[in-house]
């Protein structure tokens, strides 16, 4: 690989305090190859900034890059690496020497300063690692896509809209080639309604109690989805069963906070799921993305992600750990659908 474009960032909350380092690696045509962040524990902001550079350069070397341009929003780091400022901190000197040595291994390199607004992806990676308190690897959803037109999403919500906001983050940072063209809420007072409107999204309220039966309820949902020309329906905290019409067969996804087929079905949502997992003494839990049928939590499984169940877990702490996995799994499933890589045969999903 001849030339790569790198963006790096580091952050420390407290300086020193909890810190993380992140980078993105891309080809010159914009194709993204890697997007990673590393939780460093207690460190300073400058240590995090330099660690990001070192990690990025190591990744570029492994990718067999010959030339590179590295962008950082740390003006101090850029000036030090380019020889304009001296490195005085004894803590930074080893990282500085490591960075300079790595740069010397490339045929040609540039290290340039950018403003923070032009370093958004690296910044977001750092914040994700800090929020989770663990390493983050987004590389699995960054492979080149043959789809040039964004997939049109219709998102169904009943509550706070966390899943919707997570999907919007992936879209806004360029990690998901999609557009949310419609949000349908089954409750007018759901917190997710205001979040969606604040994000400038088209929101429709479709309440089951306003319609005479489930058939009319389902027809109303279908009408709104069809009018918005939705390609894929994404249920995010949607608590209402509706009859999925033939035109949307294998075009409606749901995410469940457990490893289906266990702990699913009517009444198994939110804390009820995690309480059941803990009561059963499970050692692992996780989430499941699946295509929907006309039964609760049934349908072909697309992706599952796991996490440990700790002995000290409450339903709340387990839910938080499972949601971390949900934030990764749903965008992955949407991306696979957008790239036409999901094939349903005999009730099972095959990834092409």
Q: Any idea which residues carry the catalytic annotation?
A: 256
What is the share, in percent, of the chain residues with pLDDT greater than 90?
89
Give the mean model confidence (pLDDT) for residues 313-320.
96
pLDDT value at residue 118 = 94
Are 41 and 19 in contact, with CB atoms under 8 Å apart? yes
Measured CA to CA, the distance from residue 195 to residue 306 in angstroms comes to 29
pLDDT value at residue 31 = 86
pLDDT value at residue 233 = 98
Q: Binning pLDDT at 50, 70 and 90, where does residue 154 land?
A: very high
pLDDT value at residue 146 = 47
User: Which of 75-89, 168-182, 222-236 has the least mean pLDDT?
Assistant: 168-182
The 10s digit of each residue's pLDDT in 178-194 is 999 999 999 999 999 99
pLDDT value at residue 32 = 86
pLDDT value at residue 145 = 47
The 10s digit of each residue's pLDDT in 193-220 is 999 999 999 999 999 999 999 999 999 9
pLDDT value at residue 133 = 86
pLDDT value at residue 173 = 81
Are 113 and 75 in contact, with CB atoms under 8 Å apart? yes
pLDDT value at residue 139 = 80
Measured CA to CA, the distance from residue 153 to residue 333 in angstroms comes to 13
Are 123 and 9 in contact, with CB atoms under 8 Å apart? yes
Give the mean model confidence (pLDDT) for residues 329-342.
94
Measured CA to CA, the distance from residue 115 to residue 146 in angstroms comes to 31
Give the mean model confidence (pLDDT) for residues 254-278.
96
For residue 29, what are the contacts with CB-CB under 8 A and spacing of at least 6? none
Q: Global pTM?
A: 0.77
| The length of the chain, given as a count of residues | 352
Helix (H, G, I), strand (E, B) or coil at 150: coil
Residue 319, pLDDT > 60, answer yes
Buried b (16+ CB within 10 A) or exposed e, 160-180: bbbbbebbbebbebebbbbeb
Report how far apart, in Å, the C-alpha atoms of 223 and of each of 154, 182, 183, 218, 220 are: 12, 12, 13, 9, 5
pLDDT value at residue 30 = 85
pLDDT value at residue 144 = 44
For the chain, domains (ranges, CATH) are 3-139 (3.30.420.10), 147-351 (3.40.50.170)
Residue 142, pLDDT > 70, answer no
Q: Binning pLDDT at 50, 70 and 90, where does residue 148 land?
A: low
- 129: closest CA among 225, 21, 236? 21
pLDDT value at residue 143 = 52
For residue 213, what are the contacts with CB-CB under 8 A and spacing of at least 6? none
The 10s digit of each residue's pLDDT in 29-69 is 888 899 999 999 999 999 999 999 999 999 999 999 999 99
Paired residues of 9 in beta bridges: 22
Helix (H, G, I), strand (E, B) or coil at 6: strand
The 10s digit of each residue's pLDDT in 230-265 is 999 999 999 999 999 999 999 999 999 999 999 999
The 10s digit of each residue's pLDDT in 220-230 is 999 999 999 99
Report how far apart, in Å, the C-alpha atoms of 255 and of each of 123, 168, 285, 317 are: 27, 16, 14, 19
> Average model confidence (pLDDT) for the chain?
94
Give the mean model confidence (pLDDT) for residues 78-106.
96
The DSSP string of 194-254 is HHHHHTT--EEE--GGGSSSHHHHHHHHHHHHHHTT-SEEEESS--------GGGTT-EEE
Angle at alpha carbon of residue 231, lines to 257 and 242, rounded to 5°: 55
The two tokens of residue 295 are 């039964």
């Amino acid at each position: 690989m001849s030339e790569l474009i790198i963006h790096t960032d580091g952050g420390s909350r407290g300086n020193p305090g909890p810190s993380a380092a992140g980078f993105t690696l891309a080809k010159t045509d914009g194709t993204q190859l890697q997007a990673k962040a590393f939780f460093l524990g207690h460190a300073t902001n400058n240590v995090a900034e330099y660690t990001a550079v070192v990690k990025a350069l190591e990744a570029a070397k492994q990718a067999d890059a010959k030339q590179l341009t590295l962008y950082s929003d740390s003006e101090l780091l850029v000036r030090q690496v380019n020889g304009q400022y001296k490195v005085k901190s004894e803590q930074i000197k080893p990282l500085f020497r490591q960075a300079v040595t790595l740069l010397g291994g490339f045929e040609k390199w540039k290290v340039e300063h950018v403003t923070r607004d032009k370093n958004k992806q690296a910044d977001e990676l750092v914040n994700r690692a800090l929020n989770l308190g663990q390493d983050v690897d987004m590389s699995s959803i960054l492979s080149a896509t043959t789809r040039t037109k964004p997939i049109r999403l219709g998102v169904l919500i009943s509550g706070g809209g966390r899943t919707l906001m997570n999907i919007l983050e992936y879209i806004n940072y360029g990690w998901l080639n999609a557009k949310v063209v419609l949000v349908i809420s089954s409750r007018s007072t759901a917190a997710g309604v205001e979040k969606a409107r604040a994000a400038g999204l088209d929101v429709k309220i479709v309440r089951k109690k306003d319609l005479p039966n489930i058939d009319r309820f389902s027809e109303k949902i279908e009408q709104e989805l069809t009018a918005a020309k939705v390609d894929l329906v994404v249920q995010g905290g949607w608590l209402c069963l509706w009859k999925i019409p033939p035109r949307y067969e294998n075009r409606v996804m749901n995410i469940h906070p457990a490893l289906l087929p266990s702990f699913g079905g009517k009444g198994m949502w939110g804390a009820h799921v995690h309480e059941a997992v803990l009561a059963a003494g499970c050692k692992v839990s996780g989430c499941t993305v699946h295509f929907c049928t006309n039964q609760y939590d049934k349908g072909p499984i697309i992706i599952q992600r796991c996490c440990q169940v700790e002995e000290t877990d409450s339903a709340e702490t387990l839910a938080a750990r499972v949601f971390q996995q949900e934030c990764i799994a749903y965008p992955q499933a949407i991306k696979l659908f957008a790239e036409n890589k999901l094939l349903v045969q005999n009730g099972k999903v095959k990834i092409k």
